[in-house]
A and B are shown apart, each in its own frame.
Chain A
Amino acid sequence: MTERVSRRRMLALGATGAGGLLLSGCDKLNGNATFRGLLESAEDAHRGSQRLLGGGMLAPEFAAADMSPNFRANGSRTAADNAEWAAHAASGFAQWKLRVDGLVLRPLDLSLDALKALPQRTQITRHDCVEGWSAIGQWTGPQLSSVLKAAGLLPAARFLVFHCADKFGGAAPYYESIDLMDAFHPQTILAHTMNGGPLAVAHGAPLRLRVERQLGYKQAKFVTRIEARSSLAGLYGGKGGFWEDRADYAWYAGI
């Protein structure tokens, strides 16, 4: 008897489960805070497992022959509505300076020439948009680690925030953040040169971040300020990036 009852119950459960999934159940679950929390915990699993397996391993680098003939520009293609950036753009960024501050010993203001005077890294890497497309391009710039060593990170610093000149869609300013593991990765550079020429406006002139083991929205364009912080809480939406705040994209974008 018990076997028949449990069998019926299992059949009923199975039918309900399948039906619920195929109908509108998914949208309801999608809005359920507990269920979303469970799904979001997978992001920690991605970061944890990829850091465990990947450590400081390098993203694949490509030959010049592999480069995209036409590298798609995405997101903000200009920061012209920012008067300060527009003035710098008009004078070829001759007076432009990158601000490095926050939890550092020595806040810095670095001109493009100062950034170019640091040891440079050139890498041909693949840019992967969260939407699914990819483009391969060549980037040149100082490693972020050189800049951070010059500024002297304080022990409390845990995150680097990249403040940008653009406001995507006229909304809040664009910003992004990474942790120290990515900040000190050898391929994490501040690119002022792309495909052998000065970084074009559409690609974030005069300076953009390259953090090669993550998706495109982490590659902040029009970077004007790097801020070392102990936490991402209290900054804009608190999720560590423009798209993270706005569209709930994952902060860790390694996958």
Chain B
Amino acid sequence: MSEPSQPEPVPEPIGEPRGGDRVRRHRLSTRLWHWTNLVAITVMLMSGLMIFNAHPRLYWGPFGANPDHPWLEVTDMGGRGQLRIAGHAFDTTGFMGVATDAHGEVQAQAFPGWMTIPSTYSLADARLWHLAFAWVLAFALLGYLVWSLLNGHVRRDLHITRAEWSPRHIVADVIDHARLRFPTGVAALRYNVLQKLAYCGVLFGLIPLAILTGLTMSPAFNAVAPFLLDLFGGRQSARSLHFLAAMGLVLFVAVHLAMVVLAGPVNEVRSMITGWYRLPKEREGERGHD
């Protein structure tokens, strides 16, 4: 990482900051939640994959077990790993179903050890991690959402305006993304509409869905909130949706990381740690993005 050698400029811009200026970008609450959530999501995903390994079949409806028909299944077909989704079979040997572990031994399990917590089969230990970090995930999100409503983060930064919802605006933003034309100058301080959709989708969609479907799998919580079973279509549907929400989060993380790399990883990561961000320089002949 390259640090500026000159004395720290005090970024107290009079008027609008310009490309190259160092500006305050992420609040402390956003930074704290981001890194707490990174740890929580990572642990939940890795321990969740181990829990999936205990019964690598997904069903729709209130019940579902070995005699019933799964819509998704990972199996070991005589030494070949196979993923079956709605009747279509994919050979996943080496990745899912059958894979070679760190000691060079062939393991027949749905997800390989390098993806799971713990790395060798233990449903009990995976549940220990998963159900403990579930508290971290849920309360970090709850705290962050409440705080972000109070401090205006939701209204100022995440709220998608009517103009932004217009198809023309969204298409223009998709084209900019496809051409890797990221906003510069002061425009880079605002989230664009695709960013807002992604962040809102995670904050208000995928993580709450994962938490609620997770709670719906708890037999004791079913007694407390039976309406969640009705909402999700039964316990096995909730389990399927839980898995799909997790896959959605994996997809988000993949795109998120790619965008960080493309937008300048040092500047982006630094701003999420320290809060300070260097505005990208305006391109020739333009001032900002709008």
Contacts and interface: CB of A to CB of B under 8 A. Distances in A.
Interface of A: 3-4, 7, 10-11, 14, 17-18, 21-22, 24, 26-27, 30, 36, 38-43, 45-46, 50, 53-54, 57-60, 62, 66, 68-72, 126, 128-136, 212-215, 243, 247-250, 254-255
23 contacts: A3-B8, A21-B39, A21-B43, A42-B135, A45-B135, A53-B224, A54-B224, A59-B223, A60-B226, A66-B63, A68-B65, A69-B68, A72-B67, A126-B62, A128-B217, A132-B51, A132-B54, A132-B239, A133-B236, A212-B219, A250-B124, A250-B128, A255-B218
B119 A247 contact: no
Contact of B221 (A71, A250, A254): A254
A136 B64 CA distance: 9
B128 A39 contact: yes
B274 interface: yes
Contacts of A68: 63, 65, 67-68
Contacts of B46: 26
A215 B129 contact: no
B223 A18 contact: no
Going nearest first, the 10 A-B pairs with the smallest beta carbon separation are: A254-B220, A42-B132, A70-B67, A132-B55, A133-B65, A255-B218, A131-B54, A72-B65, A131-B55, A57-B223
A54 B66 contact: no
B250 interface: no
B123 interface: yes
A59 B224 CA distance: 8
B132 A38 contact: yes
Contacts of B123: 130-131, 247
B222 interface: yes
A230 B127 CA distance: 28
A27 B66 CA distance: 31
Contacts of A36: 128
Interface of B is mostly: helix
A62 B63 CA distance: 11
A131 B42 CA distance: 21
Given A215-B219, A254-B221, A14 B125 contact: no
Nearest to B3: A4
A11 B1 contact: yes
Contact of B222 (A22, A60, A71): A60
B52 A54 contact: no
Contacts of A70: 67-68
A133 B66 contact: yes
A247 B124 contact: yes
A135 B119 CA distance: 29
Given A57-B223, A70-B67, A42 B51 contact: no
A39 B222 contact: no
B49 interface: no
A35 B16 CA distance: 49
Interface in B141-198: none
Interface in B229-269: 229, 235-236, 239, 269
A39 B129 CA distance: 6
B221 A18 contact: no
Contact of A18 (B38, B66, B217): B38
B67 A14 contact: no
